[in-house]
Structure 1
Amino acid sequence: MRGQDVDFTRFTLDVREFMPISEGLLHGFSFRQFASVTHSGDGRVPFYRLQSVGGARSLRGYPSGRFRDRNVLLANAEVRCQIWHWIDMAVFADAGHVFRTFREVHFADPRVGYGLGFRIKNEGKTLGRVDVARGQEGWELHLDLGSLF
């Protein structure tokens, strides 16, 4: 930042789990919990280094980077099922918050999105995804390579 020293520390926790419904079938529940906390002694963090949620890799009911601040809490949940040998379907729900300080967190009013998605797979790996999601501001379509979690 043009001659200004900016010093901050960020702690991130990203937990992902898959619970199969049946060993023989590729059906199951998938969960992700993400938290990121940024600490700065003087309270300054460059705008381009703030955390954000929204988009194909976090809160799918909103455009990419829609919400931005120093700290993030995010949860994703999916029910996945194989509908063809190389196509999976997922019904999902996402909830998240961005906030400056912990006093500003309103757990009773998170940003929420939900929707339906399809995954193209090859040899057990997700090659691409198409998700259609609804948030409080309308519908979003996300195309992405790889898996969210």
Structure 2
Amino acid sequence: MLSANSHFSYAVKNCLLFITLVLIETSDHGVAAGRELSLQDSDDASTHLNFFRAALRGRQRVLSCARDAKICLDREKNPWGGSTCCFEQFCRDTLRDSDNCGACGQACAYGLVCCDGKCVDIQNDPHNCGSCFQKCPGQKSCSFAMCDYGG
């Protein structure tokens, strides 16, 4: 069993980790503010730091293309996809991103999903039933994201 000092030490370490993660997340120097955070003049250091921040967030990484739009096409620097540089700021996948579906800034309406650059209703579309490109066999309909739900 752990002593009271061990529990306290463990709690302090967890609090420090939490504070560090919050500071990383809310930093006004980060990608969310549209600026790169670099520790040195090296683009590699910036890329690795931004990757670490994105991994901690648990969300899709956002790569800035403000200096070079071609960076979106470089799979080594941008393994997350998104070959279109939107608003000269961020790499986006206009084939799958519901906020930039088919073109930068073209958002899908509530409840619709971006499939191959088109906003579709995966709840009722027999060609995209439940997910993109999930086609219902034959002439079956799609309801509640399931083929032939009504029987």
Point out the structure with the larger helix share.
Answer: 2
Instruction: Kindly indicate whether structure 1 or structure 2 has the higher relative contact order, using CA contacts under 8 Å at least 6 residues apart.
Output: 1
Instruction: Give the shorter-chain TM-score range.
Output: under 0.3
Point out the structure with the larger strand share.
Answer: 1
TM-score between both structures, scaled by the size of structure 2: 0.21
Whose radius of gyration is greater, 1 or 2? 2
